[in-house]
Amino acid sequence: MSKQGALSRRRFLQVAATVAASSAVISCGRRAGPWRFFTPAEAHTMEALCDQIIPADQDPGAAWAGTLYYIDSQLVGHFRRLQSAYREGLASFDAACLSANHAAFADLPFDQQTAFLNHLPDSLQPFFHMVISHTMQGFYGDARHNGNRDAVSWRMLGIPVIPIRGRDQYEFPKKG
Amino acid sequence: MSLPRVNVVVIGAGAGGGVVAKELSQAGLRVALLERGRWYTANDCRKDDLRNQRTSVLGNNSGPDDERNPRVYLDLDGSRHLVLPSEGAYSNNAACVGGGTLTYGAMAWRYQPKDFRMRTTYGALEGSTLDDWPITYDDLAPFYEKAEYEIGVSGDVSNDPFKGPRAKPLPMPPLPPTHEYEILKPAAQRLGLHPFDIPMLRNSVPYNGRPPCMRCRWCVGFICEVDAKCGTHNTVIPRALATGLCDLRLGCMVKEILTNDQGKVTGVTYFDAHDRLQEQPTDLVVLSGAAVESARLLLNSKSKLFPTGLGNRFDWVGRNLQGHAYSGAIGLFDFDTYDDIGPGANIAICDYNHGNPGLRGGAMLANEFIRLPYQTVNMPPDGVRWGKAHKDFMRKAYRRTIGVMGPTQEMPVFGSRVQLDPIVKDFWGMPVAQLSGYQHPHTLEIAKVMAGRAEAWLKEAGAVQTWLNLPGNGVSGGQHQAGTCRMGNDPKTSVVDSWCRVHEVDNLHVIDASVHVTNGGFNPVLTILANAYRVSAHLAQSWKGKV
Q: Which secondary structure element, helix H or strand E, spans residue A171, and what is its range?
A: none
The answer, yes or no, to whether the previous bond of A60 is cis (omega within 30 of 0) is no
Look at A1 and B533; give whichever has higher pLDDT: B533
Question: Cβ A54–B391 below 8 Å, yes or no?
Answer: yes
Give the β-pairing of B365-367 and B401-408.
Answer: antiparallel
Q: Does B205 touch chain A (CB under 8 A)?
A: yes
Chain B residues lying within 8 Å of A49, measured CB to CB: none
pLDDT band at A32 (very low <50, low <70, confident <90, very high): low
pLDDT band at B46 (very low <50, low <70, confident <90, very high): confident
Considering only CB atoms, B49 lies closest to which of A57, A117, A141, namely: A141
DSSP string over B419-480? EEEEEEE-TTSPEEEEEE-B--HHHHHHHHHHHHHHHHHHHHTT-SEEEEE---SB---GGG
Distance from CA of B538 to the nearest CA of A (A): 38
pLDDT in tens, A104-138: 999 999 999 999 999 999 999 999 999 999 999 99
SS3 state at B56: coil
Considering only CB atoms, B49 lies closest to which of A59, A142, A157, namely: A142
Instruction: Check residue B152 and report its DSSP letter.
Output: I
SS3 state at A21: helix
pLDDT band at B8 (very low <50, low <70, confident <90, very high): very high
Chain A residues lying within 8 Å of B205, measured CB to CB: 173
Q: Does A52 touch chain B (CB under 8 A)?
A: yes
pLDDT band at B43 (very low <50, low <70, confident <90, very high): confident
Q: What angle do CA B530, B533, B537 make, to 5 degrees?
A: 145
Instruction: Give the residue-averaged pLDDT of B203-207.
Output: 98
Q: Which residue of B has its CA nearest to A79?
A: B58
Q: What is the dihedral of CA B289, B295, B297, B301, to 10 degrees?
A: 150
Give the β-pairing of B417-425 and B431-436.
Answer: antiparallel
Q: How far apart are CA B525 and CA B529, in angstroms?
A: 6
CA A174 to chain centre: 48
Contacts of B267 (CB under 8 A, 6+ apart): B2, B9, B258, B279, B280, B281, B282
SS3 state at B134: coil
Q: Which secondary structure element, helix H or strand E, spans residue B151, and what is its range?
A: none
Q: Which pLDDT score, from 0 to 100, does residue B456 have?
A: 98
Considering only CB atoms, A140 lies closest to which of B215, B216, B373, namely: B373
Distance from CA of A27 to the nearest CA of B (A): 33
pLDDT band at B2 (very low <50, low <70, confident <90, very high): confident
Mean pLDDT lowest for which of A161-175, B71-85, B106-120, B208-222? A161-175
What's the helix, strand, coil split of chain A in %, to 5?
70, 0, 30
Contact by Cβ (8 Å): B50, B57: yes
Q: Which pLDDT score, from 0 to 100, does residue A1 have?
A: 36
pLDDT band at B1 (very low <50, low <70, confident <90, very high): low
pLDDT at A171 over 50: no
pLDDT at A148 over 90: yes
Closest CA to A141 of A49, A36, A71: A71
Q: Which residue of A has its CA nearest to B336?
A: A158
pLDDT in tens, B224-266: 999 999 999 999 999 999 999 999 999 999 999 999 999 999 9
| pTM of this prediction exceeds 0.90 | yes
pLDDT in tens, B132-178: 999 999 999 999 999 999 999 999 999 999 999 999 999 999 999 99
pLDDT at A167 over 80: no
Q: Does B396 touch chain A (CB under 8 A)?
A: no
Contacts of B118 (CB under 8 A, 6+ apart): B130, B131, B132, B360, B361, B409, B517, B518
Maximum CA extent, chain B: 73
pLDDT at B365 over 70: yes
What is the amino acid identity at position B439?
A: Q
Counting residues of chain A whose pLDDT is more than 90, the rounded percentage is: 70
pLDDT at B296 over 50: yes
Counting residues of chain B whose pLDDT is more than 90, the rounded percentage is: 98
pLDDT at B120 over 70: yes
Beta-carbon count within 10 A of B437 CB: 22
Q: Does A145 touch chain B (CB under 8 A)?
A: yes
User: What is the overall mean pLDDT for chain B?
Assistant: 97
Chain A residues lying within 8 Å of B387, measured CB to CB: 52-53, 55, 114, 117
State the complex-level ipTM: 0.94
Question: Cβ A170–B386 below 8 Å, yes or no?
Answer: no
pLDDT band at A161 (very low <50, low <70, confident <90, very high): confident
Q: Which residue of A has its CA nearest to B225?
A: A164
Look at A165 and B32; give whichever has higher pLDDT: B32
Q: Does A15 touch chain B (CB under 8 A)?
A: no
Question: Cβ A165–B48 below 8 Å, yes or no?
Answer: no
Q: Which residue of B has its CA nearest to A56?
A: B388
Q: Does B218 touch chain A (CB under 8 A)?
A: yes
Closest CA to B353 of B466, B519, B471, B478: B519
pLDDT band at B15 (very low <50, low <70, confident <90, very high): very high
Q: Does B400 touch chain A (CB under 8 A)?
A: no
Considering only CB atoms, A140 lies closest to which of B342, B374, B385, namely: B374
pLDDT at B519 over 70: yes
Q: How far apart are CA B459 and CA B404, in angstroms?
A: 11
Counting residues of chain B whose pLDDT is more than 70, the rounded percentage is: 99
pLDDT in tens, B53-83: 999 999 999 999 999 999 999 999 999 999 9
pLDDT band at B415 (very low <50, low <70, confident <90, very high): very high
Q: Which pLDDT score, from 0 to 100, does residue B458 have?
A: 98
pLDDT in tens, B257-293: 999 999 999 999 999 999 999 999 999 999 999 999 9
Instruction: Give the residue-averaged pLDDT of B399-416.
Output: 98
User: How far, CA to CA in Å, does B313 sit from each of B134, B327, B494, B502?
Assistant: 20, 36, 10, 11
Total residue count of chain A as it appears in this document:
176
Give the β-pairing of B31-34 and B246-249.
Answer: parallel
Q: Does B251 touch chain A (CB under 8 A)?
A: no
Closest CA to B440 of B122, B80, B134: B122
pLDDT at A168 over 80: no
Look at A168 and B117; give whichever has higher pLDDT: B117
Q: Which residue of A has its CA nearest to B66?
A: A78
Considering only CB atoms, A173 lies closest to which of B49, B50, B205, namely: B205
Chain A residues lying within 8 Å of B399, measured CB to CB: 157-159
User: What is the overall mean pLDDT for chain A?
Assistant: 83
pLDDT at B501 over 70: yes
Q: Which pLDDT score, from 0 to 100, does residue A173 have?
A: 45
Q: Which pLDDT score, from 0 to 100, does residue B547 have?
A: 47
Residue A171: exposed, middle, or buried by beta-carbon count in 10 A (0-12, 13-18, 19+)? exposed
Question: Cβ A54–B390 below 8 Å, yes or no?
Answer: yes
